[in-house]
Amino acid sequence: MSESPAGWNSFTLRDLGGLSGGKTPSKANAEFWSNRDVPWVSPKDMKRDLLEDAEDRISQVAVDEAGMVLYPAGSVLMVTRSSILQHTFPVALAATELTVNQDIKVLRPVDGITPKFAFYLLKGLGGKILSACAKDGTTVQSIDSEKLESFPLPIPSTAEQIRIAAKLDELLAQVDTLKARIDGVPALLKRFRQSVLAAAVSGRLTETWRELQTQKTSGAEISPAGWAETVFGDICREITVGYVGKMADQYQEEGVPFLRSQNVRPMRFSQENILYISEEFHSSILKSRLEPGDLAIVRSGAPGVTCVIPESLPVANCSDLVIARPSEKLNPWFGCIYMNSEVAQRNVAENQVGVAQQHFNVGSMKKMPINLPPLAEQIEIVHRVEQLFAFADQLEARVKAAQVRVDRLTQSILAKAFRGELVPQDPNDEPASLLLERIKAQRTAAPKAKRRSKALP
C-alpha cells in the first residue's frame, strides 16, 4: 500500500490462509433437510451485516455425511457469485457457527486480525474489489477467487484494528439512525398529501377563504353546508371507457399517444413507457379519445387513481381507463383532487365489480358521490393544493438528495478509516509488519504440527 500511515502494511487474503467455500447438500436426500440444525447461508441472506441465522438450515446429518464445512463465529462471508455483484459486493460477519453454499467464500478468523475490522475492510473496499476481481466470460456475475485472494489490502496493528472497528461501530450506528429517520420522511409526506386532499374536499382548507368572501359579499353565506351533494354523472358531459379491443398489432414507433393505466399516476400524467397508434386507428375509436381537461381514471390494478390530461397532450387515446369529461360545473383539477382523496378511494374500493379481476367501471363512476363547492371555491382549493403539494415536492427532492449524501457518507467514513485517518496512530503499537510475520510463521508451523501429531503412537 503506497503512502501508508506509520506502522501500517499491505497484505492479501492469501497471506491469511486464503478463502474457503461451501456447497449445496443433495436435495434428493431428505435427511439432509429434515432438521434445521445448522444455518446454511446463501446470497439471499447477505442483506445484513451480522448473520445470526439463515433463511435455510440443514441437518447435522448433512454436515456429517455431505462434507459440509462449519465456519465459526467471527468468520467473514463474501458473495462471489450472484447477479447482485453487478453493483454491490455483499460482505457479512458470522455471529454464530454456520455453513455456506457454493456462491459464498469465507475468511476464517485469524489470530491478530480483528473480525469486525476484516469485515469493515472488505465492505469498504467493495467497489474496488468488484472492479479488480470480476471474472470475465461468465453468464452469472462472479468474482475470481484467485484475484480476490491476491487483492492488496491495508492493515494496521491489532490494537489499531480494534480502535478502528470500535469507532466505525459508533459512527455507522449514527449514520444508520440518521438514514432511518430520513427514509421515514417520504411516508410522512405521503400522509401529508392525503391530509391536504382530505382538508380540500371537506372544506377545511378554504375555511378562512370563505370567511373573507362572506365579509366581501355583505354576509352572503358560502360554507361546506352549502356545497352541492351530487354525483359525477350529473357534473360531467360524458363518462366513458377506454378501448377494450385487441391492440397487439396496432402499436407503432410514433403517432397518437395511447395511454394505459401505468401512464396515470396520482394527480399527474406520466410519459414513461407510453405507446403510440396511427391516426387512422385513432379516428376509428374516437369514443375512447382523450382531450385536455379530461379526467383519466384507472379501472384495475390501482383503481380510482386519477390524473388530468394536460394541455401538452392535445390528441390521445387510451385503454383500460375510465374517461370523465367535466362540465362547466366542475373544475377538472378539483375533480382530480377529489378522486385521489381517501373519501373517493374508499368509494372506489366498495364499488368495484367483476369476478376474475375486480375493476372500477363507468357505472360506478357515474354514481360516485361528491360534495361540490361553488366553482370559485373549487379554483381556490386547486390553487392551495398546488401550493402545498409544491412544498411537499421540494421537501421530497431534498430528502432524496439527503439519502444520496447519507449513502455516500458510509463509504466516506470507511475510506477514511482505511487511510488511517479515523483514529490516531499510537507509536507504542506493534508494527503491522511484525503481525504479518507472526501470522506467516504460524501458518508455516501449522502443517508441521499436524505431521508430528500423526507420528505419535
Along the chain (457 residues), what's the average pLDDT of each consecutive run of 10 residues? 78 95 95 96 96 96 94 97 92 97 96 97 95 79 94 96 97 96 95 96 92 61 69 96 90 95 95 94 95 96 94 94 96 97 94 76 94 95 97 96 93 94 93 94 71 34
Host domain of residue 420: 158-227+374-429
Beta bridge mates, 106: 20, 77
- 295 plus 410 within the same structural domain: no
Closest CA to 97 of 88, 108, 86: 108
Number of domains in the chain: 3
Residue type, 272: E
* 208: number of Cβ within 10 Å: 9
- Specify whether the backbone of 273 is left (phi greater than 0), alpha (psi in -120 to 50) or beta: left
In a domain, 389, yes or no: yes
- Looking at residue 138, what is its pLDDT? 64
Q: What is the CATH number of the domain that holds 296?
A: 3.90.220.20
* Residue 455 domain flag: no
Distance CA 275, CA 261 (A): 12
Do 266 and 222 reside in the same domain of the chain? no
55: number of Cβ within 10 Å? 10
- Report if residue 4 sits inside a domain: no
- Distance (Å, rounded) from C-alpha 17 to C-alpha 4? 23
283 and 353: one domain? yes
Is the same domain home to 403 and 315?
Answer: no
Give the position of cell 451485516: 49
Do 354 and 389 belong to one domain? Answer: no
Q: Would you state the pLDDT for residue 353?
A: 80
**Same domain as 365, residue 295:** yes
- Among residues 155, 178, 204, which one ends one of the domains? 155
Whether residue 145 is found in the same domain as residue 130: yes
Residues 275 and 187 in one domain: no
Same domain, 217 and 283: no
Specify the DSSP element, H or E, that contains 454: helix 432-455
Say yes or no: 16 and 150 in one domain: yes
- What's the pLDDT at 351? 87
Model's pTM, two decimal places?
Answer: 0.76
183 vs 180, 194, 393, 412, 443, CA distance in Å? 5, 19, 15, 20, 46
Last residue of a domain, one of 127, 155, 183: 155
Q: What is the CB neighbour count within 10 angstroms for residue 338?
A: 24
Burial (CB count <10 Å: 0-12, 13-18, 19+), residue 321: buried
Q: What cell was used for 330?
A: 366542475
Q: How far apart are the first and last CA of the chain?
A: 48
CA angle centred on 233, ends 232 and 235, rounded to 5°? 60
Whether 449 is covered by a domain: the verdict is no
Q: Are residues 185 and 195 in the same domain?
A: yes
Pair 31, 106 in one domain: yes
Report whether 225 contacts 272 (CB < 8 A): no
Handedness of CA 84, 85, 87, 90 (dihedral sign): positive
- Rounded to 5 degrees, what are φ and ψ at 265? -115, 160
Q: What is the pLDDT of residue 225?
A: 55
Query: Cβ atoms within 10 A of the Cβ of 219, count?
Result: 6
